Amino acid sequence: MLNTETPSTRHPDLDTYATPALLDAFIDDQTAAVAAVKAALPQLAAAVDAALPRIRAGGRLLYAGAGTSGRLGVLDSVELHPTFSWPRERAVAVIAGGEGAMFVAVEGAEDDRAQGAADLAALNPGPNDVALLLAASGGTPYVLGAIEAARAAGALTIGFANNPGAPVTAQAEIGITLDTGPEVISGSTRLKAGTSQKIALNTFSSALMVKLNKVYGNLMVDLKATNAKLVKRALALTVRASGASEADAQAALAQCDHHVKTALVMLKRGVDAAQARALLDAADGSVSRALSA
């Protein structure tokens, strides 16, 4: 029996717990998710380093999964645009059962290997693309089909699974095992198995974005200011990173469509928006290098 399906021996009387003890059991069990990702750090690092040159060459991040894993892939792909101004067309996710499966479980869709291959192939993967294949069990047919299609196209394949020796990690070029063990509620991989996948995806994609110069220091300076909250955040980040007054920061942001990177270079180098953009382009988007050029 798979680790993720094996009944936990820690809480055999879970259904009798008082509310505080019940909640404590769930929360305490989640700590295993962090430990599992930490244990996979060497493989995650290898994945980032292998993905980076492909993404720099114009490749895309392609996600494929089923159920909770599929939804986590969609979530990671969607959040890269507002957080890092990552082009939507360069982070694309497919999920077993189609877009509707984000909201309503499509039973049996995960068992269709041919559909997984077809859905991934429909994205027209190429050698610069990076496919992230997610399956808690590690043997989901839909995901295995997606791996086949991605590898056939020459894309880098990175497999995430929560059981050691899983086909998903074995068949991908880089396998990342997040060994979270039995769940508090037996077999419910939306619990710590899902949490570990969320952490791993956050870690992978955020590290990649840092390497792609989307961050200055530890500040999120390449966000898309698409709503009032983000406009305020852009202003606060600009003031903090530049040391300028709020009024000067606001004036700079107004001249560059609230792009924090550009505003920072404008303020710290004393140049206009066009010159700041040119400096950033010459520095491959790195604020640090644009400021020292």
Q: For the whole model, what pTM was predicted?
A: 0.94
Domains in the chain, CATH or no CATH each: 3-211 (3.40.50.10490), 215-292 (1.10.8.1080)
Condensed to tens digits (0 to 9), the pLDDT of residues 127-175 reads 999 999 999 999 999 999 999 999 999 999 999 999 999 999 999 999 9
**Tokens, residue 44:** 């995650």
Condensed to tens digits (0 to 9), the pLDDT of residues 24-81 reads 999 999 999 999 999 999 999 999 999 999 999 999 999 999 999 999 999 999 999 9
Is 222 in a helix, a strand, or coil? coil
Active site residue: 5, 99, 107, 110, which one? Answer: 110
Instruction: Say if residues 81 and 87 touch (Cβ distance below 8 Å).
Output: yes
Residue found under tokens 């983000």 = 230
pLDDT at residue 93 in the model: 98
Residue found under tokens 């939306």 = 190
The band of 256, judged by pLDDT with boundaries at 50, 70 and 90, is very high
Condensed to tens digits (0 to 9), the pLDDT of residues 167-217 reads 999 999 999 999 999 999 998 999 999 999 999 999 999 999 999 999 999
Angle between helices 19-39 and 41-56 (to 10 degrees): 60
Count of residues in the chain: 293
Active site residue: 79, 107, 148, 183, which one? Answer: 79
pLDDT at residue 124 in the model: 98
Mean pLDDT over residues 243-266, rounded?
96
Instruction: Say if residues 285 and 213 touch (Cβ distance below 8 Å).
Output: yes
Encode 145-174 in three state secondary structure: HHHHHHHHCCCEEEEEECCCCCHHHHHCCE
Respond yes or no: is residue 110 known to be catalytic. yes
Instruction: Say if residues 177 and 40 touch (Cβ distance below 8 Å).
Output: yes
Respond yes or no: is residue 89 known to be catalytic. no
**Tokens, residue 131:** 């496919």
Cα of first residue to Cα of last residue in the chain, in angstroms, is 59
More confident residue, 6 or 75: 75
Query: Hey, which residues does 285 pair with through a beta bridge?
Result: none
Mean pLDDT estimate for the chain: 96
Residues 6 or more apart from 148 whose CB is under 8 A from it? Answer: 117, 171
Whole-angstrom distance, CA of residue 105 vs CA of residue 285: 41
Whole-angstrom distance, CA of residue 123 vs CA of residue 249: 41
